[in-house]
Every structure is written in C-alpha cells, then in structure tokens.
Structure 1
Amino acid sequence: MGFQDELRSRNFSLYAQWLGVLSIVLGFALGIANIFHFNLLILWSIILLCCAFILVFVEIPLLLRICPTSAKFDAIVRTITTNYMRAAMYAVMGVFQILSAAYDPSSLIAAGIIMLLTASCYAVAGLKNQDFVASKALGGQGVAQMIV
C-alpha cells in the first residue's frame, strides 16, 4: 500500500500517524526555535522537545527496534498501542502546549494544535472501531506487530 492508497483507505489511525509525524517535525523545529527565549517559555520549549523525542518512538516503531533504549522506556512505549491511548497522549501534550499561550503567545501553539488534531483522528479511529494500522512507510505492520 503506497502513500496515496493510505490516504484513500479512510482509516483515521493512518491519518493520525501522518499527523503525528508532522507533530514530531514541528516539535523539534519549534522547540529549538523557542528555546532561545530568556523567560519561562523556555520550559515549554524543553517539554516540547521531550515530547517530540517520545513521539519519534511511538509513531515510528522501527526505531524502537534499532535504537538502544532502556527496558523501562520500551515498556512505556509499548503501553501506548491503542487508538484511545494515543489520543489521550496527544491530547495531554497538545493542551499543555496550548497552555503556553497563557504566559506568552508564541509559535508553540501550532505544535499544540497539530497534536490536538492528531488526538482527534486517533479518537475518531477508536470510535469507528478501526484497528491501529501502521503506515508501511514508517515501519510497516510487520515491525509494529513484532514490537507489540
């Protein structure tokens, strides 16, 4: 299944996974861009960078097999396998980044909005009883099932 076939599949977990990759890219880019503020916004930037690091291993299952990580970290990532768990994780991360606007409105809000969109796609996939399907471009189903 190619990228275009994945878009036509109407499986919201695939849409969410691609939005998750966008969240990773925005997380690293905006986290680094905003870390140079010399105020409390630096805290949200560091947290966004940590979230992006965790999302790399959650959304790209191949990296969990390749990169040396601790057994505790692997166990935590393995618990985030269902659509509802992923939706909850993204919702918490997204709301936390949007709360940064209460202190100082910045581009961190964009990462929060994309994370909330990802959470909503995972929630819709859960409500429609769609199984989590990993994109073949990001590690495929065979790798995802070896990890789980």
Structure 2
Amino acid sequence: MGFSAFQNKIGEEMRTRNFSIYGQWTGVLCIVVCFAVGLTGILSNLVNPILLLFSILCFAFSFIIIFIEIPFLLRICPTSAKFDTFIRKFNSSYMRAAIYGVMSAVLWISLVKSASGLIAAAVFLLIAAVFYLLAAVKGQAFQGSKVLGGQGVAQMII
C-alpha cells in the first residue's frame, strides 16, 4: 500500500464521524507518547522513586495499549492466555473508556509529587477516554480501524 492509499484510508475513517475510530487513533498516539514519556522519566528520575514508579507505569501502559488498539498483535505475539483474556475485555467503547480513564487518573496522581512530562501522557490518555466515552454514550458501535488490523482481522481473534 502506497503512502497516498494509506492517507486515503485514514481520511475515509476520519469522515465516518464514529468516535471509536477517533479514540483508536488517539490510542495509537498514546502508545508513542506513553513510551517516550515513560522511558524518559525512567532515565531521568532514578533518584526520585515516586516519579520513577509512575514513569515505569506509563511505560508499561504503552505496551498494554498496543495490544488493545492493534488486535492483530494478539495473533502474532506469544502472550499468555490470561493476558489475552484481559485484553479481550476491552472490545467495547465503554470498557476502553474505562481503561484509558484509569490509566489517565494514575498519571494525574503523579502530579501530587511534582509536575513532570507525565502530564502529556495523562492528557492524551484522557482525550482517548473521552472519545471512547462519546462513542459509547452516542450508541455508536465500536468500529476498529481497518488500517490498524480491525474489522476482518479483529474478527479472527475473537
């Protein structure tokens, strides 16, 4: 698939006005932000154990989100049955809003100690939670991105 075809597919998905698609793409951004902020926090907070803990959590969140948002990876990565069962719980917009909300709340708690780059991850996670909550409240069926391995591929996993 060429770049223009990729761009067209993303454009089509954005025009659907389905908030679960927006949530999924925001979730992909959360993967990048949580990975970068978490890793940076781990490397720079070695003397501050509280922020180090929150940075490790943020870093771990990036890997959880990868499996939630890119369902094809459950098929190709060796994971335990317990982990697969945990990830499959997040197939609905309500459950995704809940997990993103919890992850965001955990990172907002890190502000009690001091302000850090974890705020960026908390904000992105909150935006994803809001998109998924809007999809659920509006009654929009969860619609996974075709570009990220949704639809046909996601059905094979379930």
State the TM-score, normalized to the length of structure 2: 0.91
- Pairing of 1:1-148 with structure 2 (within 5 A): 2-36=9-43, 37=45, 38-39=47-48, 40-148=50-158
**Structure 2 gaps, min length 5:** 1-7
Amino acid at match of 2:16: S
Given residue 3 of structure 1, which amino acid in structure 2 is its aligned partner?
A: I
Deviation string 1:63-111 (CA, Å, 9 cap, x unpaired) is 1101010011001111111100000000000011111111010010110
Once the two structures are superposed, what CA deviation does each residue of 1:46-65 show, in whole Å capped at 9, x if it has no partner? 01111111110000001110
Shift of 1:140: 2.5
Structure 1 residue runs of 4 or more that deviate by more than 2 Å after TM superposition: none
Secondary structure of 2:141 counterpart? coil
Computing the radius of gyration from Cα coordinates, the structure with the larger value is: 2
Aligned letter for 1:109?
I
Amino acid at match of 2:9: G
Q: Number of residue pairs matched? A: 148
Q: Which runs of 5+ in 1 are unaligned?
A: none
Identity, % of aligned positions: 51
What TM-score do you get using the length of structure 1 for normalisation? 0.97
For residues 77 and 92 of structure 1, the distance between their equivalents in structure 2, rounded to whole angstroms, comes to 15
The amino acid that maps onto 2:105 is V
Q: Deviations over 1:3-60 (max 9, x none)?
A: 0011111000000000000001001000000112120200001011111111100000
